[in-house]
Amino acid sequence: MNYVGKACLTGCLQPVGAIVKRGAMTLAATLSVMTLGTVGMSAANAAGTIAGTDILNTAQASYDGPGGPVVIDSNTVTITVDELLDVTVASADPGDIAVDSGATQQVTTYQVTNTGNGNEAFTLTADTAKGGDDFDTSNAVIYLDTDDNGVFDPGVDTIYSPGSNDPVLAPDASVNVFILSDIPVSATDGQRAEVELSAVAITGSGTPGTSFAGQGDGGGDAVVGSTGADGEASSFFLIQAAQVALAKSATVTDQFGGNQPVPGATITYQLVATITGSGSLTNLNITDDIPTDTTYTAESITLEGANLTDSDADADAGSFDGSEIAVSLGTVPGGQTRTITFQVTID
């Protein structure tokens, strides 16, 4: 009789190679507070004097003339402040975003800020084909954070379409931008992908100092500032996968002090779950059927050497439902093992 039963993993939809669902959404959610804070601080004008402002200069002299004190004004010199074209882009993702291979519509988050001194519209471009990374994402779509909460909201935030809804930003104002793209199935654990967003001033960009006559906000010229009126920043995806391997062994102790699998002998089964990979497995459950022609020894489940009860109603991880034992391991990171034992007697 073969008493080495079949171990299985249930309760986890994708037990082998199951992935941490730590998506970009969650990361973006924690970020939203910071992002909102930044947007709110638009009072100070770091961009400089607003484009179109007239600088008027008049000197004044006073003296005592023959008829008493005299005050005279000079001519007034008027100079108009041109529009300075400047933009910065920053990634709002604090670090690599953990994703699963094959995951679709994964979000990276950026902030585009008009650091110029006039109202300016910007063209946005996503680049998923950057060199120097391990794989490229596909089907990139840019969204604008319509409700300005720093978090991508499907159905709320609008798709960006170049030339039709280019964001127009006041001096020092920012807009949050999301790129949604798909992770290829072929990407493997530990691989990274760079996703870049660039923003270019529509009036013009290029070498700092380049001037666009008469095109400035406020009626003057538009002049390319130190940023080249072209900014870009990257976020990164990191594949964090984990897999579990289950090894089962059995030790027989008979009632005569020997190791013979005779009726009445006790079999101690040991299940060792080994988790590998850079990610974690969530909601990892391990179950094992009690083999036919054996009887489960009540309250015999252990996890890492500690006893678990048979009840499913209590808080501990173990249970026995009359036909199989089950142990809920929760989230287990790669590189760890979990050892479960239970006993049966041969009928």
Which chain residues interact with other proteins by CB under 8 A? 47-49, 53, 55-66, 69-70, 72-77, 79-84, 117, 216, 220-221, 223, 225
What is the Cα–Cα distance from 97 to 79, expressed in whole angstroms?
Answer: 49
CB of 86 to other proteins, least distance (A): 10
CB of 36 to other proteins, least distance (A): 25
The nearer residue to other proteins, 184 or 228, going by C-beta atoms, is 228
Q: N- to C-terminal Cα distance for the chain?
A: 12
List CB contacts of 170: < 8 A, sequence separation 6 or more.
42, 114, 119
CB of 227 to other proteins, least distance (A): 13
The nearer residue to other proteins, 71 or 315, going by C-beta atoms, is 71
CB of 75 to other proteins, least distance (A): 6
Strands 266-277 and 337-346: antiparallel
The nearer residue to other proteins, 226 or 331, going by C-beta atoms, is 226
CB of 120 to other proteins, least distance (A): 14
The nearer residue to other proteins, 38 or 80, going by C-beta atoms, is 80
CB of 175 to other proteins, least distance (A): 22
CB of 124 to other proteins, least distance (A): 25
CB of 215 to other proteins, least distance (A): 12
What is the Cα–Cα distance from 136 to 129, expressed in whole angstroms?
Answer: 6
Strands 158-159 and 87-91: unpaired
For residue 231, give both structure tokens: 């900014």
The nearer residue to other proteins, 50 or 140, going by C-beta atoms, is 50
The nearer residue to other proteins, 65 or 132, going by C-beta atoms, is 65
Contacts 24+ apart (CB under 8 A), 150-155: 150/28, 150/31, 150/32, 150/33, 150/34, 150/35, 150/36, 150/92, 150/109, 150/176, 151/25, 151/28, 151/29, 151/31, 151/32, 152/24, 152/25, 152/28, 152/107, 152/109, 152/178, 152/180
Q: What is the DSSP letter of 19?
A: B
Report the candidate in 275, 35, 326 with the shortest Cα–Cα distance to residue 178.
35
Report the candidate in 180, 151, 148 with the shortest Cα–Cα distance to residue 29.
151
CA 216 to centroid of chain Cα atoms: 38
The nearer residue to other proteins, 72 or 168, going by C-beta atoms, is 72
* CA triple 127-130-92, angle to 5 deg: 60
Asked if 286 and 337 count as a contact pair (C-beta separation under 8 A), the reply is no
The nearer residue to other proteins, 57 or 251, going by C-beta atoms, is 57
